[in-house]
Copies of this chain bind each other. A is one copy, B any other.
């Protein structure tokens, strides 16, 4: 068994990793940390886990005796933990934004503080599983992608990787409220958001440079991204509606051929007509559809469960890669549908 710990287990992403690992046939969960809740039963903080996890929150872990550590810690906290954990010999999967942007200047610009661990930043592999499986297999440190970058990049990758896009892309994203985390805020107070769709951080969301970096890498030249996230009155689920112009005139059929070829043998990406959010909720799937709506004008739509494929599920999928397991191990179940 692979010995794992989750650091920052009191939040939604932390709880979700625990939920998935509790059923993983080849990973054993050795420790779950939370500074705030140290000493309490994990299942008291996450009542859905009662009967599945008997652990008590620890104060911290140092990596000794562990094969892998999942960091479900806030931006800024992860880069304080990674160097020590790396020295212990454990592999690390970081779910914060600390190791995603390759350029420390970009990091500083979007996250507001210096990057203090540029060495590991250089070593970190970006864990967009469907795109970089081979690199991830060799990695000791994986930067697990953000939820919006996962959903949008998977929807756009076949077009950008095949150099089919002229100009930039507009991404109108809609996220369930669990993406905002476990801390109550004015924005996620039910009376404020329960009967509304609300744009937020228009033009300033930190996932913007991450998406741009992904698309730039795929097409080999700078990709321009306009990205507007919205909070929707749904707990789980994310939909990206994306607008772009092709540099040649392709039919929907031809484009679907490009997608089919690109995602061959990637079982978690499914092509569909219009993606239905509830079809992926509870699963690690990303459902993608597209329409040609005018001459060279394309609308791409992609849907994920923001906590699974957009976080904990992809982290487990990356862990599977890092330890030579099949990608679907512990993740091999469909979404809930209704």
Chain A: residues with CB nearer than 8 A to chain B? Answer: 12, 15-16, 19, 22-23, 46-52, 170, 172, 174, 176-178, 180, 182-186, 188-200, 202-203, 224, 226, 228, 230, 232-237, 239, 241, 243, 267, 270, 272, 274, 276-283, 285, 287, 291-294, 297, 299, 301, 307, 332-338
Residue of B nearest to A11 (CB): B338
A41 to chain B, nearest CB (A): 13
Closest 5 CB pairs of A and B: A203-B293, A48-B337, A177-B190, A172-B172, A184-B184
Task: Tell whether A293 pairs with B48 under 8 Å between CB atoms, given A197-B239, A232-B233.
Answer: no
- Of chain B, the residue at the smallest CB distance from A177 is B190
Task: Choose from B189, B272, B278 the contact partner of A188 (Cβ within 8 Å).
Answer: B189
Bound: A336/B239 CA distance, A: 19
CB distance from A89 to the nearest CB of B (A): 31
- Report the minimal beta-carbon distance from A268 to chain B, rounded to whole angstroms: 9
Complex Cα gap A197–B306 (Å): 14
| Contact call A234/B236, Cβ cutoff below 8 A | no
Q: How many copies does the complex hold?
A: 4
With A51-B267, A203-B291, A334-B52: A196-B276 Cβ-Cβ less than 8 Å: yes
Closest B-chain residue to A233, C-beta based? Answer: B233
Q: Is the CB of B297 within 8 A of A226?
A: yes
A196's nearest neighbour on chain B, judged by CB, is B277
Q: List the B residue with the shortest CB-CB distance to A47.
A: B279
Q: Which residues in B have their C-beta under 8 angstroms from that of A12?
A: 191, 337-338
Contacts A191-B338, A200-B274 supplied; 17 other A-B pairs, CB < 8 Å: A12-B191, A15-B338, A19-B334, A50-B272, A50-B334, A51-B334, A52-B334, A182-B338, A192-B278, A194-B233, A195-B195, A197-B239, A197-B277, A203-B292, A224-B294, A230-B241, A232-B233
